[in-house]
Structure 1
Amino acid sequence: MIVLKITNASEVMASKLGKFLESLTPDALDQSTIEDIILKKLVENLQAEGLKGEVASVRGLEMEEKELVMHDGLRVRRHHTF
């Protein structure tokens, strides 16, 4: 299993949209948008390599140093089978 944590979603959105528009969007929306883009590209690349599997965006799971922490309300936000 691979866990990927995006830590600069707001900065990426600001570079794409501009600082003013980014300041109008909540950080959670920035994170979700970046996760959706990454999932789409990841699935495309893995399929191109002939790999099969599943990938998901999960809310309520945090990576803190070397530990995975589960919070109440853990749920799959988006799921793709490839």
Structure 2
Amino acid sequence: MIVLKITNASDVVASNIGKFLERLTPDSYDQNKVEDIVIDRLAANLRAEGIRGEVAAVKGLDLHDDDLVIHDRLKIRRRKSI
């Protein structure tokens, strides 16, 4: 299993829509939007390589240094088959 943590979602959104508009959007929206784009592109690239599986955005799971932290409620926010 591979875990990917995106830490600069607001910066990515700001570079695409501008700093002013980024300040008007909540950070959770930025994170979700960037995760959705990454999932779509990742799935397309992996499918092109012949890889099968699933990719998902999960809430309640976090990386801290070398630890994987599972919070009280673990939920799949978005899932896509490859």
TM-score by length of 1: 0.97
Pairs within 5 Å for 1:55-74: 55-74=55-74
| CA deviations over 1:20-74 (Å, ceiling 9, x no partner) | 1000000000000000000000000000001100111000100000000011221
Report deviation, 1:18: 0.5
SS of equivalent residue, structure 1 residue 50? coil
Instruction: Give the unaligned 5+ runs of structure 2.
Output: none
| Equivalent residue, structure 1, for 2:26 | 26
One-letter code of the match for 2:71? H
Alpha-carbon distance between aligned partners in 2 of 1:72 and 1:44, rounded to the nearest angstrom? 32
Pairs within 5 Å for 1:6-45: 6-45=6-45
TM-score by length of 2: 0.97
Alpha-carbon distance between aligned partners in 2 of 1:24 and 1:63, rounded to the nearest angstrom? 27
| Equivalent residue, structure 1, for 2:50 | 50
RMSD: 0.5
Instruction: Give the unaligned 5+ runs of structure 1.
Output: none
After TM superposition, which residue ranges in structure 1, 4 or more long, deviate above 3 angstroms? none
Percent identity between the two aligned chains: 57
